[in-house]
Amino acid sequence: MNRIEQLEIFLLETPNDAFLNYALATEYVSMGDDEKAEFIFRDLLEKNPDYVATYYHLGKLLERKQQKFEAMDIYRIGIEKAKAKGEQHSLSELQSALLELEYE
pLDDT tens across 30-41, in order? 999 999 999 999
Q: Is residue 1 predicted with pLDDT exceeding 70?
A: no
Give me the helix-helix angle, 34-47 and 53-64, nearest 10°.
Answer: 150
Spatial distance between the Cα atoms of 104 and 95, rounded to a whole number of angstroms: 14
Spatial distance between the Cα atoms of 7 and 27, rounded to a whole number of angstroms: 9
* pTM for the predicted model, two decimal places: 0.93
- How many domains does one find in the chain? 1
pLDDT tens across 11-67, in order? 999 999 999 999 999 999 999 999 999 999 999 999 999 999 999 999 999 999 999
Q: Is 61 exposed, middle or buried (0-12, 13-18, 19+ CB in 10 A)?
A: buried
Give me the helix-helix angle, 18-31 and 3-13, nearest 10°.
Answer: 160
DSSP state of 93: H
| Residue 52 lies in domain | 3-102
In this prediction, residues 84-100 reach a mean pLDDT of: 97
DSSP 21-53: HHHHHHHHHHHT-HHHHHHHHHHHHHH-TT-TH
CATH number at residue 38: 1.25.40.10
